[in-house]
Chain A
Amino acid sequence: MSVAAPSATTTMTYREAVRLAMREELLRDEDVFLMGEEIGVFEGSYKVTAGLFREFGPVRVRETPISEEGFVGAAIGAAMMGLRPVVEIMTLNFILVAMDQVVNHAAKIRYMFGGEVGCPLVIRTPNGGGSQLTAQHSQSFEVFFAHTPGLKVVAPSTPADARGLLKAAIRDDDPILVVENLQSYKIKGEVPEDPDHVVEIGRAAVTREGSDITLVAHSFAATRALRVAERLRADHGVSAEVVDLRSLRPLDTETVVRSVAKTNRALCVDEGWSTYGISAEITSRIQRACFDDLDAPVERVGLAEVPMPYAKNLERAALVNDEKIEAAALSVLGLGPDIFSS
């Protein structure tokens, strides 16, 4: 039920949009509560929960010790009882110590017990890194979770989607991982004012229309893809279409395929490792559905297949950046050196 005009929007950062979603859902539903390290007095390691502890108090905004396996598991148990915990994991890196609770417990509860009990859990956490954060703190392995039946995984790149998808996730009856991004937090954008505006989980968005090549990406890579599309236009007269996946599981194959059927070329961009990655899945689906439409092999750009090195020059060589995406796109278009077969 919407009171504000559907077109009314406010400008805010991604960080503020995530915070707004939590605030609105805390106000809407008493079963919703937040859990995580440093989310209260410290206001979150990346200040996403700023002000919420003051407004809602220690029961609705529950601070935890550093015990990821314990408190993620506790959130799963609370969710089985019908509560709707929204757990912040400081960064994606630290979810690994709770992996067993997420993959072997949360994801399986409904199926393993024949539908007798559910687990309306949300875990939100930023991926990404760079900035010399190195091997254990600079990673984007959301594919581990997208690989797992029983979980849903979303990865918004804009403030509006960050709010809309988080709200949808909190209202969903199954466990969902919401992948935020360290670099996205400061992005500004228009966010609908309607407190009941949610973004449907499982729908990709065409964030830029074009006719020559489709760039498929999620999370911060989708922001990069838009920038690169603009460079391709300005520097090479190329019309690139950008598909922001938004949701990794379920995956909106239809939107991707419709785009590639139009452009006949596709480049998958992923800030994580390509091998066995999100882009491997997308590529497989494109070749199946668009076999006769393709004018060039579907290609991928991703993180170099190494743990993240510290030295600036090595880190630059490892990370995905706009220049690498542009070179890859030109290669797919046949307008630049063939970087994929050498």
Chain B
Amino acid sequence: MPSSVAKPRSTNRRSPRRDGDGAPDSSHGLDLYERMALIRVFEEEVERQYKRARIGGYCHLASGQEGATVGAVHPLLEDDLLFSSYRTHGLALARGVDPDAVMAELFGREGGSAHGRGGSMHLLDFSKGFLGGWGIVTGQLPLATGAALALTYRGKPNAVMCELGDAATNMGAWHESLNLAGIWDLPIVFLVLNNQYGMGTSVEKASAEPELYKRASAFRMHGERVDGQDVEAVLGAADRLLRRAREERKPAVLEVITYRYRGHSVADAGTAYRTAVEIETWKERDPIALYRQRLLDERRVGEAQIEAIDARVEKRVEQAVAFAEASPEPPTDSLAQHLHGDPASAEQFARMGPGSPFGERELVLEGLGR
């Protein structure tokens, strides 16, 4: 191992509870179900609020991808880190970011996760190890690679998970990041959520190697593919690769095969480049419905428990909307706040006027005695 930093042992603070035969127990199953259901209901509410013009800008929904999202994020430990693209509501919620703060961010309120500055694409909760919501395709990969470097630099026993879309694997930054992770032995899992399309372009059309996990082999990196409509399968694979990253400092690519029911964003009907039959076929393997059925079939939970969860998530989303509604707009005179960290710069830029973009005019004129 080239790094001089010793590999510390990981402490698994939030590992999935398992019964003797390796199958997750019932409370674990309910937990996974609840997280998926929360994301689904939350995003349906987001779309309603968007249509009421209380949410604006670009808004990318991920209905259909909940199994992939929850399965991949669940095995992250408290001190692990998560990066994502702009399709980020589900990933934030799965990571445990407060639904109130997510909804308030979408409403552009001070109580939002980025205090109303970022919106749908730029959710973040540093305290939860959720390092953003990024809008430029593949822009987050070098950052996540650097965060993994920081973990090894500081001798931390943790790992980074970096979500990206299928189409993002065609950018140069993908190749550069995988290579860096490979030569530096970084604890990072590149999570490719392959929902079959980048906007209206299919994976087959955009990628010379459409089996995206195989691209890892160009860097002698482990890559594998898993069914994203099966939350436990995703969880198992993600857990294994994250452990490997933490314990052996081995990066990996995990390609999760899934599907978004809605258009690329709320502005896209999502029908110009795919058939209604295709969408319906995927809906037959809805990750939430499948898991619900499985929990019931395997008698791990009863109907009543599921129904209680369904009611609870509805309430939780209502509460998030109420919180967002009650949260104030950011003060308009705070426009320049957060541009810089040091108080002197912050003060200078807060004073900027139309004729003094640097906010320096007063200083200059005072200095000249005018």
Contacts and interface: CB of A to CB of B under 8 A. Distances in A.
A306 B109 CA distance: 18
Given A310-B116, A340-B353, A304 B135 contact: no
B272 to A, nearest CB: 6
B118 interface: yes
B168 interface: yes
Contacts of A318: 335
B273 A134 contact: no
Interface in B332-370: 332, 334-336, 339, 349, 352-358, 361, 365
Nearest to B335: A317
Contacts of A43: 272
Contacts of B334: 314
Nearest to B119: A310
A302 B109 CA distance: 25
A304 B332 CA distance: 12
Interface in B94-120: 105, 108-109, 114, 116-119
B361 A311 contact: no
A207 to B, nearest CB: 24
A299 B357 CA distance: 12
B56 interface: yes
Interface in A96-144: 96-97, 131-137
Contact of A306 (B171, B207, B336): B336
B121 A134 contact: yes
Interface residues of A, number: 49
Contact of A42 (B200, B349, B365): B200
B200 A339 contact: no
B201 interface: yes
Contacts of A183: none
A239 interface: no
Given A137-B135, A339-B354, A66 B170 contact: yes
A88 interface: no
A294 to B, nearest CB: 15
Contacts of B134: 136
A7 interface: no
Contacts of A94: 136-137
A312 interface: yes
Contact of B332 (A42, A133, A307, A313): A313
Contacts of A68: 171
A65 B352 CA distance: 41
Contacts of B58: 133-134, 137
Contacts of B358: 275, 305
Contacts of B330: 309, 311, 313-314
Nearest to A310: B119
B109 A311 contact: yes
Nearest to B118: A310
A2 interface: no
Given A134-B122, A274-B357, A37 B335 contact: no
Contacts of A257: none
Interface string A41-54: 11101000000000
Contacts of A70: 172
B353 A65 contact: no
Contacts of A342: 353
Contact of A304 (B136, B273, B352, B365): B352
B117 A314 contact: yes
A318 B354 CA distance: 11
A65 B201 contact: yes
Contacts of A274: 357
Contacts of B119: 132, 134, 310
A63 B199 contact: no
A284 interface: no
**Most chain A beta-carbon contacts within 10 A, residue among B119, B122, B167, B354:** B354
A283 to B, nearest CB: 11
Contact of A312 (B56, B199, B336, B353): B56
B57 interface: yes
Given A311-B109, A314-B117, A304 B201 contact: no
B318 to A, nearest CB: 23
B206 interface: yes
Interface in B32-80: 56-58
A42 B135 contact: no
A11 interface: no
B205 interface: yes
A224 interface: no
B200 A41 contact: yes
Interface string B191-211: 000000011110001110000
A317 B332 contact: yes
Nearest to B167: A66
B310 interface: no
B227 interface: no
B329 interface: yes
A157 to B, nearest CB: 22
Nearest to A274: B357
**Most chain B beta-carbon contacts within 10 A, residue among A37, A69, A96:** A37
Contacts of B136: 93-94, 96-97, 136
Interface in A62-104: 63, 65-70, 93-94, 96-97
A43 B272 CA distance: 10
8 contacts: A45-B199, A63-B205, A94-B137, A136-B134, A304-B336, A311-B329, A311-B330, A340-B355
Interface of B: 56-58, 105, 108-109, 114, 116-119, 121-122, 134-139, 167-168, 170-173, 198-201, 205-207, 272-273, 329-330, 332, 334-336, 339, 349, 352-358, 361, 365
Q: 9 closest pairs, A vs B, by CB?
A: A340-B355, A310-B119, A132-B57, A42-B200, A311-B108, A132-B56, A311-B116, A136-B135, A65-B170
Given A134-B118, A304-B352, 14 more contacts: A38-B201, A65-B167, A66-B198, A97-B136, A131-B57, A299-B354, A309-B335, A311-B116, A312-B56, A314-B330, A314-B335, A340-B353, A341-B361, A342-B353
